[in-house]
Structure 1
Amino acid sequence: MKIFHSMLLLLLLGVWLRPSNSDFVSADSCPDRDDVELNQAFGGINHLKPKDAQNKYIKVVEPTLAPIHLYDLPGYTRSVYERDYALITPESQVFSPISGWINSLAAFLITPAMGSHFSMYFVKFQGNSSAAQPSKGVERFVFVVDGQIQLSCEGQNHLIQADGYAYVPPGTIHEIRSDGSSMLLIYERRYSNEVGLKPELIVGVTDVQPLLDTPGEVFELRKLLPTNGVYDFNIHIMDFQPGEYLNVKEVHYNQHGLLLLEGRGIYRLGKDWHPVQAGDVIWMAPYVPQWYAALGRTRSRYIIYKDVNRDPLLHPH
């Protein structure tokens, strides 16, 4: 059995490393900061539109377009669930109706049933769709993977397209709706209010955010939320060119929920090494060893949740 698994892994790696003319979205095709339009017209609607954002993350929305997929092989999956991590690949993501959401299907990817203190899930809007309110005390982060949504909150209306996002503070009444089809990635957690302050509504576009210094590393980093102590988590966008990898082999108390948006590579989780590609989701528990290297011919990009700004002694979970 070990020989079979080794041969299968070598086969997969051999195919993955083969040049492909239908590879993932390249860095050159991504919008520059100057290509992003921020208009506050149209009857008070804040229009956040990255140019050429349509279908930017198409291999998340339509995973069978990825260069390598074995979804038709009976019984086969790359998904793995372990005590301190999980890899949930597209063929294992189960969508179903979600209570309170209209014309919507959801796939819960990470939940407290795993031991996490947050939830991470996909939502597919099917047209004339709307979201339910989160539970009391729960904060919500919405990332638009595909399509567009309208967010109404605090007397303002925001049109958010693919690669745009919104953070909604706990206890904030809001409406999320879409006339057409769209796909969302949502993170939710119960807000840890040890500092006695209330976070603010945040609406933004990924590629507008500045690149931050990453001492000792080569990847590009953007943080989508403010780094001050009011916020108890942040969302990072991390970009790797082919052949780049994490220098640090991380072991830390923070939890992670990751979606690979573009590209492919190898992720070390604990003692295991997993080939990963766009559309894959990874849950990382505290202190699991973790490391990533980008493969292929074009960049890797992933979005990742990280809890921050709270004392782990006071907030162990």
Structure 2
Amino acid sequence: MPILRRFKLQLLLLLSTALGSFTLLVAQDGFCSESYSAFDVVSNSMQLYAKVTNPTLSPSHLKDLPGFTRSTYRIDHALITPESHVFSPLPEWKDALGAYLITPAMGSHFVMYLVKMQDNSRSGLPPNDVERFVFVVEGTVTLSNGSGINNKLMVDSYAYLPPNIRHSIVSDVSSTLVVFERRYAYLENHATEQIVGSTDNQPLLETPGEIFGLRKLLPTSTAYDFNIHIMDFQPGEFLNVKEVHYNQHGLLLLEGQGIYRLGDSWYPVQAGDAIWMAPFVPQWYAALGKTRTRYLLYKDVNRDPL
């Protein structure tokens, strides 16, 4: 056999062996989509929104890579991923830790933060003239207001608290909340009211030109200066409109995974990731994987931008 031909055959054999070893390594390290999907199914069956409180921080081959993070901050957007969360005591809260994900230091006019509560944890009050929205992603809490009315909030339940209303949120078990707060933009002859609800009780709304599922958790009346949307995408669904608008957004992925375009950057995202979008940043999303995407979205509304 000619020497050159023998060399080519030996090279092909070496490449084949190397590729076979790589395929085995990928399957063992969790790159195999079928293995990942099976894990997702188990996690989702154990607890709704489990990926928010127990996220996959990074692919297994990168977990021990020093300094690795998917988080990024730009002038008109930010992606904050779970490995970057920093929890610390919250002012006026008792036995609770918070991680601020969006604040005015970024350029927003609202804050978004996660709160981890334990047995006997109790909330504090927001500053004067600040309204609050609370959504439960883990556990159960009790909301009490100044009138002595108590409401039990479970996973997928939420509450809106108007500015300057006395209230407390108490947890008897380990619980996780996502909280939005902003300084209320008053309008003459308009006032908001306390609201307690759950996602499943809100109707699916028409979305002309789009195919995602949309629920609005707050009234659309003029008194409310922001709303919270729950948006559902089945695998392969995406936004038709490549949005560019004056509204700000704060987003938390509750389930699923996909690709988010922000400005000229394209980010792989998954449950547990938080996103801030400044006014007029180009934005677009497509759902990937084998399970639905659900995200919770803050949007300012009903106020003249001037």
* TM-score, structure 1 as length reference: 0.83
Alignment equivalent of 1:18, drawn from 33, 52, 64: 33
2:134 maps to 1:118: no
Alignment-derived partner of residue 252 in structure 2: 259
Q: Do the aligned residues in 2 keep the contact of 1:66 with 1:278 (CA within 8 Å)?
A: no
Q: What is the 5 A alignment of 1:67-78?
A: 70-78=62-70
Cα deviation, 1:111-157, whole Å, max 9, x if unaligned, reads: 00111000000000022100000100000000001001000013310
Larger RCO: Structure 1 or Structure 2 (Cα < 8 Å, ≥ 6 residues apart)?
Answer: 1
Of 191, 200, 207 in structure 1, the residue corresponding to residue 193 of structure 2 is: 200
Aligned mates of 2:60, 2:206 — CA distance in 1 = 34
Q: CA deviation at 1:73?
A: 1.9
Match in the other structure for 1:246: 239
For the Cα contact (< 8 Å) 1:17–1:296, is it kept in 2? no
Offset of residue 78 of structure 1: 0.4
1:94 aligns with 2:110: no
Aligned residues: 275
Change (3 A) 1:69 1:236: farther
2:153 aligns with: 160
> What is the Cα deviation at residue 66 of structure 1?
8.1
Which is worse superposed, 214-223 or 154-163? 154-163
Please give the alpha-carbon distance, in whole angstroms, between the structure 2 residues aligned to 1:65 and 1:147: 21
Check conservation: 1:24, 1:262, Cα contact below 8 A: no
| 1:144 and 2:136 aligned | yes
Distance (whole Å) between structure 2 residues aligned to residue 271 and residue 159 of structure 1: 43
How large is the Cα RMSD of the aligned pairs? 2.0
User: Which consecutive residues of structure 1, in runs of 5 or more, have no partner in the other structure?
Assistant: 1-10, 30-51
1:285 to 2:278 alignment:
yes
> Counterpart amino acid of 2:72?
V
The aligned amino acid for 2:37 is: N
The alpha-carbon deviation at position 69 of structure 1 amounts to: 8.2
Distance between the aligned counterparts of 1:215 and 1:25, measured in 2? Answer: 32
2:228 aligned with 1:235: yes
Can you list the C-alpha shifts for 1:43-97, whole angstroms capped at 9, x where unaligned?
xxxxxxxxx9x72011110113887784432111000000000000000011011
SS in 2 for 1:140: strand
Alignment partners' CA distance in 2, 1:25 and 1:156: 38
In structure 2, the CA distance between the partners of 1:69 and 1:158, relative to structure 1 (3 Å rule), is farther
In terms of mean alpha carbon deviation, does 59-68 or 101-110 score higher? 59-68
After superposition, residues 290-301 of structure 1 pair within 5 angstroms as 290-301=283-294
What stretches of structure 2 of length at least 5 have no aligned partner?
1-25
Q: Aligned with 1:129: secondary structure?
A: strand
Question: Which one has a bigger Cα radius of gyration?
Answer: 2
Q: Which has the higher helix share?
A: 2
Residues 163-205 of structure 1 deviation map (CA, whole Å, 9 limit, x = unaligned)? 0000000010001111111000000000001243210000001
Residues in 1 aligned to 2:226 and 2:68: alpha-carbon distance in whole angstroms:
35
C-alpha separation in 2, matches of 1:254 and 1:23:
37
- Classify the secondary structure of the residue corresponding to 2:51: helix
The one-letter code of the counterpart of 2:254 is L
Q: Which amino acid aligns with 1:232?
A: D
Note closer, same or farther for the CA distance 1:252–1:24 as it changes in structure 2 (3 Å cut).
Answer: farther
Question: Which of the numbers 216, 239, 263 marks the counterpart of 1:270?
Answer: 263
Mapped partners of 1:83, 1:223: distance in 2: 28
1:64 aligns with 2:31: no
Alignment partner of 1:55 is 2:55: no
Q: CA deviation at 1:21?
A: 3.3
Secondary structure of the residue aligned to 2:47 is: coil
| 1:303 and 2:269 correspond | no
Question: Which residue in 1 is equivalent to 2:15?
Answer: none
- Counterpart AA for 1:106: G
Preserved contact between residue 37 and residue 290 of structure 2 (Cα < 8 Å): no
Whole-Å separation in 2 of the counterparts to 1:66 and 1:158: 37
Give, in whole Å, the separation in 2 of the partners of 1:16 and 1:215.
37
Query: Residue 295 of structure 2: SS of its match in structure 1?
Result: strand
Rounded to whole Å, the distance in 2 between the matches of 1:68 and 1:310 is 46
